[in-house]
Structure 1
Amino acid sequence: MSGKIHLSKYFNKHYIIGDLLGDGAFGFVLTAIRIADSTEVAIKFISKSKIPDDSWVDDPHIGRVPQEIAILNSINHPNIINFVEYINEDDYILLITELHGTEWDSSNPLLNPIKNPGLRLAKHQKPDEFKTDQEKVIRKRTSCDLFECIDTKITKATTQKIFAQIVLAIYYLHSLNIVHRDLKDENIVIDENYHVKLIDFGSASYIPKHPENYFTRFNGTTHFASPEIVKKKAYRGPEAEIWSLGVLLFTIVFGENPFQNKDEIMEGKYIFPSKIDPGKYINKKNKTFYYYYLCNII
């Protein structure tokens, strides 16, 4: 981003760097234009020095790569981001995937206030004279993820459409003995037609077959973590992911997370937002959050 990373001749021959999508502990994500067909893609720059030793695998088709790349290369689902290729640079592994989603900003001409009600106001942009040199070169793109989308008032039908797609993606992964392990609204990108795709497989892994191999490390977001994870117990994966789906559904419906701290997660204690009739969302028989109120189309 600062111009200090020298990319290979192969990369410069095939891609042109675009906007910044995000950054974190692993590295950062940029958009790029594929020169061959002018298609816009997403490129995740994964710092080799930050990839744990046990996260490298020998894939029979693409060689020794981080497990994230091996998993993405082996799956194909309409609600999971598509793998394009990877490039092995000096200090980084470049994971290239399709770019999906619409910038959730009312200034975006693709969005329609009638079709997409409750749009946020456009974010104030700094004039060019106040931007740093780096900001002038790399534009920070407004997020295309579900975290931004659910800042709007979403109808029941739209909620059903969104959540059904997420469940289908997770069901598909579990059928292949894969767990995502970082399911949250920020890892789901969404377009103006509410078509969603799951992204960021940096924590994804295969479901362990034996208790002695259960996961003990959690790299996800605490608000979406299940009680056993919060209690730092070993966990298999799919059960914890079902819990995360419930948290995600609550977040989509009400625009906020059901749990504010670890104690509430461990107790399974959540409070509905004010002016909400709990009777509409609670299963009267077992007093649990009523999934089927919203998910009867699945």
Structure 2
Amino acid sequence: MSSTRALQALNGVQMNTKSNVPNGNVKTPVKSSVTKPEKKRKKEKLSSLCKTPPSVVRTRNGRGYHRGLFLGEGGFARCFQMKDEAGKVFAAKTVAKASIKNEKTKTKLLSEIKIHKSMVHPNIVQFVDCFEDDINVYILLEICPNQSLMDLLKNRKLVSEPEVRFFMTQIVGAIKYLHRRRVVHRDLKLGNIFFDPDMNLKIGDFGLATVVSSSSGKRYTICGTPNYIAPEVLGGKTTGHSFEVDIWAIGIMMYALLFGKPPFQAKDVQIIYDRIKHNEYKFPEDSTVSEEARVLIRDLLSTDPLQRPVLDDILDYDWFKSGPFPSSVSVESLRQTPNNLSFIAREESLINFANCKQAVGIHEVPKNPVEILKTDLESEQPKALLPQSLSPNNTKSKYKEVATVNIKSVKSKITNQLANAHNDNKTISSMNDQLSNTLYAMEEIESGKSRSIRTSGDPVIISKWVDYSNKHGFSYQLSSGSIGVLFNNGQSVLKTVDSNDICYVALDEKSGWNISHYQGDSIPMLLSRYVEVVDFFKKYMNAHLADVSSGSNSNRFTQDIFLRRYTRDANYIMFELSNGTYQFNFKDHHKIILSDCGRTITHISPAKEVETLSLWSVLENQNFIKTPEQFFNVKYDFMKQALRDKILM
């Protein structure tokens, strides 16, 4: 029996009232007689309290919306079509005020509205407005007329790998946007991802979403949908959870689409939870799904949250490039597998993949985090639930942006104020001095005024790295053997491969970077958590990542070299080391490094061939000699522009 029918049957019965008990005598039922009614009441959704909206719903300012078709219901709300006076159709998530029984429930609803309202992304359901009447609260949303991924899977039973590649790219792009804003969705599932009129995916339902502050980093509420809950969520207050729960959900959805059902599915919820805790799932033996897809799923469904790939790494897996990638998905996919997928050539697939990543904003500049303000949770009117800051008609100034920890300048300041602020900040002025000196030396060499010679051997470079800045920071290994983490608060800790000694770099804006060394038996307790994170990444990188070159391993802190800053771009990732070395890892796996204040340049090919020369000789030859780089001139211009841009930040 469906849950809807069960609710209808229960609602039609008068229980324990004088009107249906003979002589008005109400007898206290024995324990066994109350068991079944209690079970039925547990099935009743809070959405059942939601009354059907009137035919015309009016906002505070008199705007009218005409109620249309009933679209469906979840655990807390019902959804109806709403048409405005211009004839435009929306979806209205309708929450009964009777279900908002305490301050906690109210805060949860208002937080959902605030978070969703602040999201503007092509793959997130667009928030339109919110308002209320005496009975309900209405959240007006963009309508997605082509159902959800769950509906597609029910119709199709299995989904092809090319289509799933397209879907996963759009989902990863949307989740990356959320995580950049420090928002964790916590209820990602096939039923919460919808198709717009053009069959692009849209993530919806922010009822369980939360903002994770950089200070606390974790949430402890056990919440979500059983088949999609990550193991650390089940740990409750013992473990806590964070952004990684959304990574886990990507793995669950990918498995379900390719194999027909979620990996831990069972009739009994407790069995599902036990399977999740013990990571008990397997791939169907008769499935033809590729090994590349299985590799990605295994990594996404790692029990240890820190072992799961970060969002930036997911789309680098071979699976996304190992088969056809469509330029779009049509409504045909709702019914059957499109016929033309096998005819997409590899070159066309790579172009489609690149275009899809660009469309979902994979390489966009990070957005400032969402902040839940006190004014968002307090109504100015006694009888009103929604504060004026959220409703109505306030979508142009939807939320206050919060600057990230390391940003000290304000864009609205005039140029000389910004310059003075940089001069007062020792860390920024020091980096700018190095950048300026490097650019000056390069220009002198380019003009022929200086003929520098190679002054040293191969530079110390970053040979391995893991970007985990959505939680801890950026981890890296130097070719000298040191492993370090540049934490989100600007501090750094480095550790050699074969020693427990550490190098601690404290960021001080007035004096620059203060460096301290501690032997393994004298490390301050305050640094113990930092060291634990470094040890984790040390183990992870040794197990999973390959060096970009066969650099020497000196097992010491070479000249106290550490990573000061890194920058991601659509074409490269740039590392700025404390000794003035600038390393550029390009997307095609070539690496070019400027060292010795720009006078020396190194090229590392994808085959790990290393060539270090004076910049003068490379410019004179117009390329490297032993390992020529096909696009050297283009990349050299990229590098110079990147150095200039950093000075202007």
* TM-superposition CA deviations, 1:208-262 (whole Å, max 9, x none): 4345x73222331011011111233442320111111111111111121011211
How far off its partner does 1:23 sit? 1.5
Deviations 1:37-63 (A, max 9, x none): x11100011123434624656xxxxxx
Partners of 1:8 and 1:16 lie apart in 2 by 6
| Pairing 1:69–2:69 present | no
In structure 1, what is the equivalent of residue 81 of structure 2? 31
- The whole-number CA distance in structure 1 between the counterparts of 2:54 and 2:219 is 35
2:229 match? 225
Deviates more, 1:81-90 or 1:153-162: 153-162
After superposition, residues 201-212 of structure 1 pair within 5 angstroms as: 201-211=206-216
Q: CA deviation at 1:167?
A: 0.8
Aligned residue number for residue 179 of structure 2:
174
| Structure 2 residue corresponding to 1:47, chosen from 89, 92, 96 | 96
Aligned 8 A contact 1:27 1:44 in 2: yes
- The answer to whether the 8 A contact 2:144-2:197 is kept is no
Residue 95, structure 1, aligned to residue 100, structure 2: no
The alignment of Structure 1 onto Structure 2 pairs a total of residues equal to: 248
Who is 2:506 aligned against?
Answer: none
Distance in 2 (alpha carbons) for counterparts of 1:9 and 1:101: 24
In 1, the alpha carbon distance for the partners of 2:159 and 2:53 equals: 43
- Structure 1 residue 163: Cα displacement: 1.1
Question: How far, CA to CA, are the matches of 2:289 and 2:152 in structure 1?
Answer: 24
> Could you say which residue in structure 1 is the equivalent of 2:252?
247
Unaligned ranges ≥5, structure 1:
58-63, 103-143
- Pick closer, same or farther for the CA change 1:94–1:282 going to 2, 3 Å: closer
Paired with 2:51 and 2:104, the residues of 1 have a C-alpha distance of: 30
Q: Using the alignment, how far apart are the partners of 2:282 and 2:138 within structure 1?
A: 42
Residue 257 (structure 1) aligned with residue 269 (structure 2): no
* Alpha-carbon distance in structure 2 between the residues aligned to 1:166 and 1:92: 31
- The 1:69–1:3 alpha-carbon spacing in structure 2 relative to 1, beyond 3 Å, is closer
- AA of the residue aligned to 2:221: R
Pick from 267, 274, 277 the counterpart of residue 266 of structure 1: 277
Distance across 2 between alignment mates of 1:188 and 1:86: 21
The one-letter code matched in structure 2 to 1:147 is M
Percent pairwise identity? 26
Matches within 5 A, 1:1-298: 9-10=58-59, 14-36=64-86, 38-51=87-100, 53-54=103-104, 56=106, 66-102=110-146, 144-151=147-154, 152=156, 153-191=158-196, 193-211=198-216, 214-232=218-236, 233-260=238-265, 261-277=272-288, 280=291, 281-283=293-295, 288=299, 292=317, 294-296=319-321, 297=353
Change (3 A) 1:295 1:192: farther
Paired amino acid for 1:176 = R
What do the CA deviations read for 1:68-115 (whole angstroms, capped 9, x no partner)? Answer: 11112211000001111111222321100110131xxxxxxxxxxxxx
Which residue identity is paired with 2:141? T
**Helix, strand or coil for the counterpart of 1:29?**
strand
Task: Find the aligned partners of 2:257 and 2:92 in 1 and give their Cα distance.
Answer: 28
**Any conservation in 2 of the 1:43–1:96 contact (CA below 8 Å)?**
yes
Instruction: Give the whole-Å Cα distance in 2 for the aligned partners of 1:293 and 1:230.
Output: 31
TM-score, with normalisation over the residues of structure 2? 0.35
- Tell me the TM-score normalized by structure 1: 0.73
Contact 1:226 1:243 in 2 (8 A): yes
User: RMSD across aligned C-alpha pairs, in angstroms?
Assistant: 3.0
Q: Do 2:56 and 2:67's aligned partners in 1 also have CA atoms closer than 8 Å?
A: no
Change (3 A) 1:94 1:192: closer
SS in 1 for 2:276: helix
**Counterpart Cα distance in 2 of 1:55 and 1:4:** 21
The structure whose residues are more often helix, as a share, is 2
Note if contact 1:80-1:198 (Cα within 8 Å) is conserved in structure 2.
yes
